[in-house]
Chains A and B, each alone.
Chain A
Amino acid sequence: MLNLLERLQERFSSNHHADLHKNPSRLQTLHDEETNDDKFADLRNLLRSLPKYQTSKNFDIVLKSLVRKEMAREKQKGLLTSWGFRLRMPVYLGTALTCLAVGIIIGRMIPLEADSSQNYSGYENSSFPAVQIYPDTDEAAQQETTVRPVMRNFVIEVASPSERGQTDQTFEIATEDNLINQYFNSIPNPSRKQPSSKTVLKETSASIRF
């Protein structure tokens, strides 16, 4: 009992438990602790006798290098999350979006070049009439090889079988577009000798796709 009182006295005097005088419930807790512990004094002595280990020299070296790495990582992260970067972020984003928009506009303005080098051979013996399509703006435009993506007026020139293959511009439209089919159906019987016919179709670009 004296031993218990001594230990309690010791605890009272330590800085850590200086506020115990003001807290009776805490004092009771401490008393309970001591009585509980006393029941297992032998076991506690045995556990207290266990050797205490110290960290190796290597421990500090490894820890320092780990902390240094962590510092570098934080610095890197700090650059990305700094207020300076956050404030500039909308400017960067705006510039990127403007560049993208300008790119898209320029891309739309450049006309699509028709590939005149393509050889549409192999249809010479076909009974299918050769068709040539070009914009019907004026006479000069008829020589044009450029096919614009948006065209409202088209000239479809149908060459007779004897004239087939004479021009590079002639190619076949393999489409099921109703308008074209309608047009082909209206072609007179090729057994009758017909001159090259020129028909101007006035349709919107949405009607003909190729």
Chain B
Amino acid sequence: MSRKKDALHRISDEDLIENFQEGDLTAYDEIVYRYKDQLLNFAFRFVGNIEEAEDVVQETFLRLYRNRYAYRRIAKFSTWIYTIASNLAKTELRKRKRRKLVSISDMGFDEKEFEIEDQEADTERVAAGALKEEIIQKAIDELPPRFKQVIILRDIQELSYEEVGEIMAVPLGTVKSRLNRARLKLQTKLKHLMDQERKG
């Protein structure tokens, strides 16, 4: 049994999906095992909420199960599955936008969700990792979706430019220019934090 597992670990993603297409369910389990955390981190940085990110990843694997025969070996499996997750994450964001519009209109002025956080206050907490992460996540969330996607795929998931281009369905040149602009925007937003990091 463990020998079979070892053998599965050595198989490439493309061979795994081929085995799965032929009806091998252990190949599907191996794919889930390989990608669940990667995709969770990708989806989490995209939607900014861990529960929603898990939902996105679950739906991604379910789509993979349903559309397993749609995969052709002409593309890398990783780019294919990232494309599915990326589309689902974008859809989730759109849904959330709609929900937000509804909830604001339903809320009264006495309710606390209208309180705006004071960003200057509590500077000591900046040192804390949780707050740092919160600030970075907030800065990422504020980016337009196409910039957000390119930053997450390249700088957080560390995929190659070519893979990013395939996932986003844009040419390499566009990836480079988009990434450059996204980084500049993010750099401006995180300037204080980066200065602090340098000092610290």
Contact = CB atoms under 8 A, between A and B. Distances in A.
B41 A66 contact: no
Contacts of A42: 194, 197-198
Contact of B187 (A40, A49, A54): A40
Interface residues of A, number: 30
A48 interface: yes
A53 B58 contact: no
A122 interface: no
A70 B62 CA distance: 8
A52 interface: yes
B62 A67 contact: yes
Given A29-B161, A33-B161, A59-B58, A46 B65 contact: no
Contacts of B88: none
B32 A63 contact: yes
Chain B at the A interface: mostly helix, strand, loop or mixed? Answer: helix
Contact of A66 (B62, B129, B133): B62
A62 B161 CA distance: 34
Interface string A31-52: 0110010011011111111111
Interface string B172-190: 1000100110010011001
A185 interface: no
Given A36-B180, A53-B40, A63-B58, A47 B172 contact: no
Contacts of B162: 26, 29
Given A40-B187, A43-B194, A59-B57, A53 B36 contact: no
A70 B68 CA distance: 13
A53 B37 contact: yes
Contacts of A46: 136, 190, 193-194, 197
A49 B136 CA distance: 10
B120 to A, nearest CB: 20
Contact of B190 (A33, A43, A56): A43
B44 interface: yes
B66 A48 contact: no
Contacts of B37: 52-55
A140 B188 CA distance: 110
A55 B193 contact: no
Contacts of A45: 197
Contact of A54 (B32, B40, B161, B183): B40
Nearest to A62: B58
Given A53-B41, A70-B66, A63 B136 contact: no
A55 B36 contact: yes
B148 to A, nearest CB: 12
B25 to A, nearest CB: 9
Contacts of B36: 55, 59
6 contacts: A40-B183, A43-B186, A48-B156, A50-B133, A53-B40, A60-B32
Given A42-B198, A43-B186, A53-B50, 16 more contacts: A29-B161, A29-B162, A30-B160, A32-B176, A36-B179, A42-B194, A44-B155, A46-B193, A46-B197, A47-B151, A50-B156, A55-B54, A59-B36, A63-B32, A63-B61, A67-B61
Closest 9 CB pairs of A and B: A47-B155, A40-B183, A55-B36, A33-B161, A43-B187, A55-B40, A44-B155, A54-B37, A63-B58
